[in-house]
């Protein structure tokens, strides 16, 4: 009997219609287009503006896009995982609401939260379920409404983040394609440098906290940048070494879209040509859990069966890692 591997067999995506450009930000905070582009590579980002619509709206849209394109029957989906740092509500899982909305009535579902590494860690989880043989179809969605926790008077964060969602379907494969290896890490001492302090169980929201803007996300940019550059590059090198891969073997680097300079540093560390590096940060900014699947969504037509992909991400907490996967179909 052939070994079962977990392969991505379908991709979907969604970004909101409203575009927040650098020029628009110039009227909101003390910044300018040249400064933003030179330091982050971001030109614009998408924002979900409609009242009452949260991360589940984005997740449902991305999932429905995948379903419409692939023709998969939602009733055949065994599990729905929503990787997110911005769930709709506390206690009530965003994934459960999403699964019901798309008609995945036979699936169990849950949220997975590891900041910008959420989707990467979700890939590990979904692949393990498939490889176990217990489940056949797992829908993994990365979705975040980052605008819900951004202070648009704080130029350290408002220039970076956008909203969006991407989805992939994992299924069993017996051709040796799909998920091969992972190297995932975390360091809890990093949470002081990137988080939204108020709103969790340690610091419940108070009127005073809201008045002072303490419920918004905080980032120590220099510390986060330094750790992201070194750690994302390190794990990408590690995954190549463990699998005896050279730069010539790699078809694509699928790197978290936090900052163009971090992406470039990771690519340079593994000596990968720029044409093999997926990027969409200029159009979307940092969509947190959605960056990796949105890259697959944007580049799907360029992917070929057998392409070797290296994923890398770094997020708050700190969390980071790399995954090696072979693409399983021609689009």
CATH annotation of 5-176: 3.40.47.10
Give the model's pLDDT for residue 222: 84
DSSP H or E run through 168: strand 163-173
Please say if 231 is a catalytic residue: no
Categorise residue 55: left if φ over 0, alpha if ψ from -120 to 50, beta otherwise: alpha
pLDDT at site 243: 98
Do the domains spanning 5-176 and 179-327 agree at the CATH topology level? yes
* DSSP code string of 32-87: -HHHHHHHH---EEEE--STT--HHHHHHHHHHHHHHHH---GGG--EEEEE-SS-
User: Residue 37 is encoded by which pair of tokens?
Assistant: 């582009």
Instruction: Read off the tokens for 157.
Output: 């964060």
Query: Does the annotation count 116 as an active-site position?
Result: yes
- The active-site residue out of 116, 146, 231, 259 is 116
Residue owning tokens 């936090």: 258
pLDDT tens string 128-171: 999 999 999 999 999 999 999 999 999 889 999 999 999 999 99
Q: Which of 173, 180, 256, 259 is catalytic?
A: 256
| Alpha-carbon separation of residue 23 from 34, 36, 180, 258, 265 (angstroms) | 10, 10, 43, 20, 27
pLDDT, one tens digit for every residue, the chain (331 residues): 589 999 999 999 999 999 999 999 999 999 999 999 999 999 999 999 999 999 999 999 999 999 999 999 999 999 999 999 999 999 999 999 999 999 999 999 999 999 999 999 999 999 999 999 999 999 999 999 999 999 999 988 999 999 999 999 999 999 999 999 999 999 998 888 877 777 788 778 888 878 877 778 877 778 888 998 899 999 999 999 999 999 999 999 999 999 999 999 999 999 999 999 999 999 999 999 999 999 999 999 999 999 999 999 999 999 999 999 999 999 8
pLDDT at residue 301 in the model: 97
In order of 18, 158, 283, the CA distances from 21 in angstroms are: 10, 11, 9
CATH of 179-327, one of 3.40.50.920, 3.60.21.10, 3.40.50.300, 3.40.47.10: 3.40.47.10
Closest by CA to 140, choosing from 48, 320, 12, 256, is: 12
- What is the residue extent of each domain of the chain? 5-176, 179-327
Strand 178-186, strand 194-195: pairing: unpaired
- C-alpha–C-alpha distance, residues 294 and 217, integer Å: 22
- pLDDT for 1 equals 55
Give residue 162's pLDDT: 98
Q: What is the pLDDT of residue 207?
A: 86
pTM: 0.96
Listed in sequence order, the residues at least 6 apart from 38 whose beta carbon sits closer than 8 Å to its beta carbon are none
Tell me whether residue 256 is one of the annotated catalytic residues.
yes
User: Kind of pairing, strands 138-145 and 163-173?
Assistant: antiparallel
């Amino acid at each position: 009997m052939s070994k079962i591997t977990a392969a991505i067999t379908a991709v979907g995506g969604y970004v909101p219609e409203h575009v927040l450009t650098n020029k628009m930000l110039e009227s909101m905070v003390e910044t300018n287009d040249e400064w933003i582009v030179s330091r982050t590579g971001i030109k614009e980002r998408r924002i979900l503006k409609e009242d009452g619509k949260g991360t589940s709206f984005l997740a449902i849209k991305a999932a429905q896009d995948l379903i419409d394109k692939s023709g998969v029957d939602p009733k055949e989906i065994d599990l729905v995982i929503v990787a997110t740092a911005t769930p709709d509500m506390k206690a009530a899982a965003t994934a459960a609401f999403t699964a019901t909305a798309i008609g995945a009535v036979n699936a169990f579902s849950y949220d997975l939260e590891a900041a910008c590494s959420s989707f990467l860690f979700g890939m590990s989880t979904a692949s393990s379920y498939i490889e176990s043989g217990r489940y056949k179809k797992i829908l993994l969605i990365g979705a975040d409404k980052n605008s819900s926790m951004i202070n648009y008077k704080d130029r350290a964060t408002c220039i970076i983040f956008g909203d969006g969602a991407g989805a992939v379907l994992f299924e069993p494969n017996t051709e040796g394609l799909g998920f091969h290896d992972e190297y995932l890490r975390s360091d809890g001492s990093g949470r002081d440098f990137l988080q939204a302090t108020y709103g969790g169980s340690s610091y419940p929201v108070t009127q005073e906290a809201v008045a002072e803007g303490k419920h918004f996300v905080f980032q120590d940019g220099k510390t986060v940048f330094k750790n992201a550059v070194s750690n994302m590059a390190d794990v990408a090198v590690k995954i190549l070494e463990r699998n005896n891969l050279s730069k010539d073997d790699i078809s694509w680097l699928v790197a978290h879209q936090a900052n163009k300079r971090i992406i470039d540093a990771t690519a340079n560390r593994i000596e990968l040509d720029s044409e093999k590096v997926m990027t969409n940060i200029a159009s979307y900014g940092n969509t947190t859990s959605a960056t990796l699947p949105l890259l697959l969504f944007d580049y799907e037509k360029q992917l070929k069966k057998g392409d070797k992909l290296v994923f890398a991400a770094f997020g708050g907490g700190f969390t980071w890692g790399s995954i090696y996967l072979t693409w399983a179909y021609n689009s």
